[in-house]
Amino acid sequence: TAMRVAVVGAGVSGLAATKCCLDEGLEPVCFERSQDIGGLWRYTEHIEAGRPSLYPSVISNTSKEMSAFSDFPFPEHFPVFLPNALLLDYLRRFAERFGLREHISFGTTVVSIRKHPEFATTGQWSVVTETGGKQTSHVFDAVMVCSGNFSEPFLPLQSFPGMERFRGQYFHSRQYKNPDMFQGKRVLVVGMGNSGVDIAVEASRVAAKVTISTTRGAWLLSRVFERGYPWDMILNTRFMTLIKTSLPAPLSWWLINYKANQWFNHENYGLQPDKRYFLVPLLNDDLPSYILTGRITIKPGVKEFKDNSVLFHNCPEEEPIDIVVFSTGYIISFPFLEESVVRVENKHASLYKYVFPTHLQKPTLAVLGLIRPFGAIMPVAEMQARWVSRVFKGRGANMSLPFLQALLTPIFLLPLFLLRFGLTFDEVLKTEWLVYLDTLASFIGAKPSVLGLLFTDPWLALTIFFGPCSPYQFRLGGPGHWLGARQAILTQWDRVLKPTRTRVPVGSSSPFPSLLIVVGFLLLLAAVIFGF
């Protein structure tokens, strides 16, 4: 009989996990507490307990070609960066294409996951779920936890002296839906994550004044990068990654500083990060111009709240405020897991490659989607699911000795970062997006060999090395090989230009052949890199 796998959650990670289980001949049962798929990307007017909350204006920070599942490109007519409704549409197409819905149990909450009494022998798990007030017990051979980390807000009011005196309104960014409430108000956003900056920008269009308080500053990039191309298709290439990972730390810092400051001088705008910290850049297209036009002011960390005002560190004057939005991140929690399964000590959990708890006798439980590298999360979650489903299927037979030793050695400490964006940043995971993907791909034999391709398909090899590292690269060979991968890679720029090149000047050919696009892109990259 097929191995039964419980999948917790039907968001991006849960859908990827369900499909990968099916690909490996496993029998997934996906439990979703709400009535539909999509997780973070499904907008609801009302905030639902235990679910991420989205505001209607959210747009993806990563481009469609870099965000796609590796054997399912986005439709070419979709915009390059996706409004949440279109991303949800894509996830629904994905679920339909691979027949995932029939494996999902909607309206079902996972109450508890415990080791089965015979776990030491079988590696099985006892899972209790609840549907319509009725609890059911199950036994599963393995578990994939895909419940995400944007459900439980982190709101450390005790960290802000005088907060108990403040008479204005305050709430966590999770509560935000639209800017109407800010009409004519003086607004303070505490914390500088992507959500905090988005909310500040939206608020500034209707508010009397908007201030962002940040302790450590931030690097800021625009979705629209050099020559108007998407930022991740320029920065997340094998060539650029090789340069970034080969440089000593001071040079790496200088490179980030140089690239970020090409758009605008961060120091002049009050955003320059502290050198002691490696911070993942933020994505926002509007903030610099809003600072320049006085709509938004950047201030240091909060020193103290008064009745109707706030004091900032190193700023003597009080600033009157009416509303405070705390963009202070989320607590990563697994209320359905017993404490011994994923041990959290000093905000760290021992997870091999940020996926497998290192102390379990049997590697039959995995946590997906926790890592937040600077790049698209969907290909990362999918690669984790491909690896995990192979490990589950192998039941140890396909696992190398170093892998088993690593599982027993708690050396990979994942900061279960109470994601405190801008308030008191926890250590940001320094794992390079492509390095992490390549590592997991090598575990399952799906990492592309640029050197090997140079002799068999040199054009593809050059495109893979100098061009964007789109997820299709990981379907060129190995398990899960997709016959359409090569074509998807060579036509990726066609799909980028399709929704934007909607007016072709007289005398210009309608969309460039992909060959010319790739050649132009390689020349552009060479100019960018060697123009330093």
Last residue of a domain, one of 372, 407, 436: 436
Average pLDDT over residues 234-255: 86
| Closest residue by Cα to residue 188 from 354, 326, 334 | 326
Share of the chain above pLDDT 70, in %: 86
Asked if residue 183 and residue 123 are part of one domain, the reply reads: no
Lowest-confidence segment of 79-83, 167-171, 274-278, 491-495 by average pLDDT = 274-278
Average pLDDT over residues 415-442: 58
The tokens for 468 are 């964007």
Examine the pLDDT at 329 and tell me if it is beyond 70: yes
CB-count burial class (<10 Å; 0-12, 13-18, 19+) for 408: exposed
pLDDT digits (tens, 9 = 90+) for 211-235: 999 998 999 999 999 999 999 999 9
Average pLDDT over residues 395-406: 47
- Give the domain CATH number at 338: 3.50.50.60
Please name the helix (run of DSSP H) or strand (run of DSSP E) that holds residue 140, with its range, or none: strand 134-140
Question: Coil, strand or helix: which one is 104?
Answer: strand
Examine the pLDDT at 516 and tell me if it is beyond 60: no
Question: Domain residues for 495?
Answer: 448-530
Asked if residue 371 and residue 278 are part of one domain, the reply reads: no
Asked if residue 407 and residue 346 are part of one domain, the reply reads: yes
Average pLDDT over residues 175-200: 96
In a domain, 495, yes or no: yes
In a domain, 475, yes or no: yes
Examine the pLDDT at 125 and tell me if it is beyond 80: yes
Can you give the pLDDT at residue 89?
98
Asked if residue 111 and residue 34 are part of one domain, the reply reads: yes
Helix, strand, coil content of the chain in percent (nearest 5): 35, 20, 45
Lowest-confidence segment of 45-54, 174-183, 236-245, 345-354 by average pLDDT = 345-354
In a domain, 237, yes or no: no
Can you give the pLDDT at residue 77?
96
Share of the chain above pLDDT 90, in %: 69
Can you give the pLDDT at residue 83?
97
Examine the pLDDT at 366 and tell me if it is beyond 90: yes
Longest dimension (CA), the chain: 74
Can you give the pLDDT at residue 233?
97
Token match 């933020």: residue? 282
- Phi and psi torsions of 189, nearest 5°: -105, 120
Can you give the pLDDT at residue 163?
95
Examine the pLDDT at 531 and tell me if it is beyond 50: no
Asked if residue 293 and residue 374 are part of one domain, the reply reads: no
Average pLDDT, the chain: 87
In a domain, 256, yes or no: no
Confidence of residue 52 (pLDDT cuts 50, 70, 90): confident
In a domain, 348, yes or no: yes
Asked if residue 395 and residue 310 are part of one domain, the reply reads: no
Examine the pLDDT at 380 and tell me if it is beyond 70: yes
State the Cα–Cα distance between residues 4 and 98, nearest whole angstrom.
18
State the Cα–Cα distance between residues 340 and 262, nearest whole angstrom.
48
pLDDT digits (tens, 9 = 90+) for 305-316: 999 999 999 999
pLDDT digits (tens, 9 = 90+) for 143-176: 999 998 777 888 999 999 999 999 999 999 999 9
Can you give the pLDDT at residue 404?
52
Examine the pLDDT at 291 and tell me if it is beyond 50: yes
Average pLDDT over residues 422-437: 57
State the Cα–Cα distance between residues 213 and 156, nearest whole angstrom.
15
Last residue of a domain, one of 306, 328, 350: 328
In a domain, 441, yes or no: no
Examine the pLDDT at 276 and tell me if it is beyond 80: no
Can you give the pLDDT at residue 345?
60
Asked if residue 385 and residue 409 are part of one domain, the reply reads: yes
Residue 352: count other Cβ atoms within 10 Å of its Cβ.
Answer: 20
Q: Are 467 and 521 in contact (CB under 8 A)?
A: yes
Q: How many domains does the chain have?
A: 3
State the Cα–Cα distance between residues 491 and 305, nearest whole angstrom.
55
357/149: higher pLDDT: 357
In a domain, 420, yes or no: yes
Asked if residue 465 and residue 355 are part of one domain, the reply reads: no
Asked if residue 207 and residue 141 are part of one domain, the reply reads: no
Examine the pLDDT at 358 and tell me if it is beyond 90: no
Token match 């390079």: residue? 432
Asked if residue 389 and residue 268 are part of one domain, the reply reads: no
HSE at residue 500, side-chain half, CA atoms within 13 A, is 13
Token match 């405020």: residue? 321
Examine the pLDDT at 417 and tell me if it is beyond 50: no
In a domain, 469, yes or no: yes
Q: b/e for 517-532, b at 16 or more Cβ within 10 A?
A: bbeebbeebeebeeee
DSSP string, 307-375: SSEEEETT--S-EE-SEEEE---EE---TTB-TTTS-EETTEEEEETTTEETT-SS--EEE-S----SS
Can you give the pLDDT at residue 59?
96
Asked if residue 373 and residue 484 are part of one domain, the reply reads: no
The tokens for 114 are 């415990």
Ramachandran area for residue 132 (φ above 0: left; ψ -120 to 50: alpha; else beta): left
Confidence of residue 333 (pLDDT cuts 50, 70, 90): confident
| N-term to C-term CA, the chain | 59
Confidence of residue 493 (pLDDT cuts 50, 70, 90): very high
> Within 59-208, where are the H helices?
64-67, 84-97, 119-122, 194-204
pLDDT digits (tens, 9 = 90+) for 102-115: 999 999 999 999 99
Query: What global pTM score does this model have?
Result: 0.89
Asked if residue 133 and residue 55 are part of one domain, the reply reads: yes
* 169: β partners: 323
Token match 């997934």: residue? 28
Sign, CA torsion 315/330/40/45: negative
| Closest residue by Cα to residue 62 from 212, 272, 281, 271 | 281
| Closest residue by Cα to residue 475 from 98, 90, 87, 72 | 72
Examine the pLDDT at 32 and tell me if it is beyond 70: yes
Can you give the pLDDT at residue 398?
43
Cα distances (Å, whole numbers) of residue 451 to 228, 454, 456, 465, 468: 31, 5, 9, 10, 17
Can you give the pLDDT at residue 260?
86
Last residue of a domain, one of 395, 413, 436: 436
Can you give the pLDDT at residue 528?
47
Can you give the pLDDT at residue 508?
66
Question: Coil, strand or helix: which one is 138?
Answer: strand
Examine the pLDDT at 449 and tell me if it is beyond 80: yes
Lowest-confidence segment of 14-23, 41-50, 82-91 by average pLDDT = 41-50
